Structure 1
Amino acid sequence: MNLESRKTLMPDVAHETATHARGLDWVGMEGIALPLRLDGDIIAPAIADVFVNLADANARGIHMSRLYLQLQESLANGDVSIARIGDFLQACIVSQNGLSTAARVRLRYDVLLERPALASANAGWRDYPIELEVELDGDGLRAAFTIELQYSSTCPASAALSRQVISEHFLRAFPNGGDAGEIAAWLASPAGMAATPHAQRSVARIRVELANGVDVLPIAVLVDAVERALGTPVQTAVKREDERAFAEANAANLMFCEDAARRVASVVSKMAGCLRYRVQVSHLESLHAHDAVAVVCSK
């Protein structure tokens, strides 16, 4: 028996009738390794989840291998654009030979952006996790992406209490006043820092549903705007002058999680191409063993 004969005899039980006939919302695969091309030359490792619906209630299963092969053919080493992904999803539906009427894909990868130091002439790279979701059905193409940004948050209440403690220590050290030189020396000494406010690394998770016609994800524009609004993004290269500038930035941007959520939402809501949004900020508390979280969504 030659190879071609063996192929024709291979059973395909997927063509059998389903025993509990009904359609299925989504069928597919999760966790597929995939290289993506970002900004033309940068290859980013990604994880893809791809699904189609099973509209034919009597069909036992979809042609799953066709989804995998279509993913590799359409998106591996390709630019990440909504139009390109839309073409891929249409090809996934066609590949099922009438079994499916909708398709969706989720891509998870990191974008690297170079960020300048606050005061020195140095710079470094920050990674921003991205999750891109695109769905195609009879109502058209819909796309949304989620991005995570890290920043520092210093508690306003803790800062106020720290100032009170320092003030009380100052009055005890200088009950009758003192000259400017003595006071400056005292403030610069350990005695002048009798209390410090608690601060923590914090995370903003932003989900943006894109309006029709948006083809390229506005990652850099969004990151720049949100980090300016927060005022305290985590740093890369840090010399002493940068650390001092970071301390000043934190003092100038004291914020509860509620404050941070409002700052981020004020920026995202004005972003071109944003149809709807969801902002969640999490302050990974150094005072508590639990986190402080605030969420705001578009109406």
Structure 2
Amino acid sequence: MNALTLPDIAAQASRQALPLEWVGMCGIALPVLFDGQRLSAKADAGVSLDDGEARGIHMSRLYLALEMLEQDNLTPRLIRQVLHHFLDSHEGLSNNAYLKIDADLLLKRPALISPLSGWKRYPVSIEAQLKNAMFHVELKIDVSYSSTCPCSAALARQLIQQQFVDDFANRSLQHADVLAWLGSTKGIVATPHSQRSQAQLRLTLDDFVDELPLLAVINDAEAALGTAVQTAVKRADEQAFALANGQNLMFCEDAARRLSLALQRCPGINALQVRVVHAESLHAHDAVAESRWRREAE
């Protein structure tokens, strides 16, 4: 008895001839390597179906091509190779290929003062396409930080000034009395409000970039803000964090401008979109600011 040939339904002609822009799979679990770290990731992989007469694509070929990401460090060059493999395996069917990788980058961050350190999570997304033979890569990175409201800080200072006037009116000032007043809740009657905030960064890379600048972008963003959220801390670190917040008062507009100006100086960045979200502790809504920048053609 002869073995029956397994049917290939995807190779059959479509009942309705129509090209499709994107066909593929979403949420594929896979490990990827970045800077020596193995990350748990999810990938979306797809190609265009330009042959409108074809019933479908070969999704298993896309899936198997993703194994290339397990072997080498994640770079634009490797991503380009995967996309070329997508197209080579769909010759005659597809002209464009797409790949998106979502992962959490774990970085060990030191405390501000003490020798402690801890792991911090940075959600990252890499979106790449090979379209009309042109390779394009975008990065999305989320960075958390603390923001202290300048208006709230000014109002708190005014209340403290008024309390000082009330407590020391018509009295001779003694150093010890003022020092004790400054260290008491009676004297510091108000504090400004702060909120955990998030910077959502979207960057388009230049074609010549050899490495994904995730670490450089994160470090530059946190340096520009000055108040990155912490991991393990002692009281000295918490005090240093309070000082950093007091020296980096910012509205969402300030944060967006700081980030945009800092990241424009990063090499290998062709375009930038910044969106900052301050999860207000005063209001039940969030404060949001956005900025866009694109390098002018030389």
> What range is the shorter-chain TM-score in?
over 0.9
Q: Identity over aligned residues, as a percent?
A: 47
Contact 1:282 1:291 in 2 (8 A): yes
Quote the Cα distance in structure 1 between the aligned partners of 2:233 and 2:269. 34
Quote the Cα distance in structure 2 between the aligned partners of 1:246 and 1:75. 39
Could you tell me how far 1:84 is from its partner in structure 2? 0.8
Quote the Cα distance in structure 1 between the aligned partners of 2:101 and 2:14. 31
Quote the Cα distance in structure 2 between the aligned partners of 1:120 and 1:58. 66
Contact 1:35 1:77 in 2 (8 A): no
TM (norm. structure 1) is 0.95
Counterpart for residue 43 of structure 1: 38
Quote the Cα distance in structure 2 between the aligned partners of 1:215 and 1:50. 22
Quote the Cα distance in structure 2 between the aligned partners of 1:254 and 1:77. 45
Quote the Cα distance in structure 1 between the aligned partners of 2:108 and 2:199. 19
Q: Secondary structure at the match of 1:96?
A: coil
Quote the Cα distance in structure 1 between the aligned partners of 2:84 and 2:131. 9
Counterpart for residue 112 of structure 1: 106
1:201 equivalent among 196, 199, 205 = 196
Q: Secondary structure at the match of 1:246?
A: helix
Contact 1:16 1:59 in 2 (8 A): yes
Could you tell me how far 1:270 is from its partner in structure 2? 0.9
Could you tell me how far 1:77 is from its partner in structure 2? 4.2
Q: Which amino acid aligns with 1:185?
A: A
Given the alignment of the two structures, is residue 226 of structure 1 paired with residue 246 of structure 2, yes or no? no
Counterpart for residue 172 of structure 1: 166
Runs (5+) with no aligned partner, structure 2: none
Q: Which amino acid aligns with 1:182?
A: D
Could you tell me how far 1:236 is from its partner in structure 2? 1.1
C-alpha distance after superposition, 1:198-217 (max 9, x if no partner): 10000001111000111211
Q: Which amino acid aligns with 1:101?
A: N
Most deviating of 138-147 and 158-167:
138-147
2:17 equivalent among 10, 21, 27 = 21
2:77 equivalent among 69, 78, 83 = 83
Could you tell me how far 1:187 is from its partner in structure 2? 1.2
Given the alignment of the two structures, is residue 34 of structure 1 paired with residue 30 of structure 2, yes or no? yes
Most deviating of 147-156 and 17-26:
17-26
Given the alignment of the two structures, is residue 161 of structure 1 paired with residue 133 of structure 2, yes or no? no
TM (norm. structure 2) is 0.95
Quote the Cα distance in structure 1 between the aligned partners of 2:58 and 2:115. 55
Quote the Cα distance in structure 2 between the aligned partners of 1:187 and 1:77. 60
Quote the Cα distance in structure 1 between the aligned partners of 2:33 and 2:9. 38
Q: Which amino acid aligns with 1:201?
A: R
Given the alignment of the two structures, is residue 135 of structure 1 paired with residue 129 of structure 2, yes or no? yes
Could you tell me how far 1:160 is from its partner in structure 2? 0.6
Could you tell me how far 1:127 is from its partner in structure 2? 1.4
Quote the Cα distance in structure 1 between the aligned partners of 2:253 and 2:283. 17
Quote the Cα distance in structure 2 between the aligned partners of 1:198 and 1:122. 27
Quote the Cα distance in structure 1 between the aligned partners of 2:191 and 2:107. 32
Runs (5+) with no aligned partner, structure 1: none
Contact 1:257 1:293 in 2 (8 A): yes
Q: Which amino acid aligns with 2:28?
A: I
Given the alignment of the two structures, is residue 125 of structure 1 paired with residue 105 of structure 2, yes or no? no
Q: Which amino acid aligns with 1:35?
A: P
Q: Which amino acid aligns with 1:171?
A: V
Counterpart for residue 143 of structure 2: 149
Could you tell me how far 1:126 is from its partner in structure 2? 1.2
Q: Secondary structure at the match of 2:186?
A: helix
Q: Which amino acid aligns with 2:114?
A: S
Given the alignment of the two structures, is residue 52 of structure 1 paired with residue 47 of structure 2, yes or no? yes
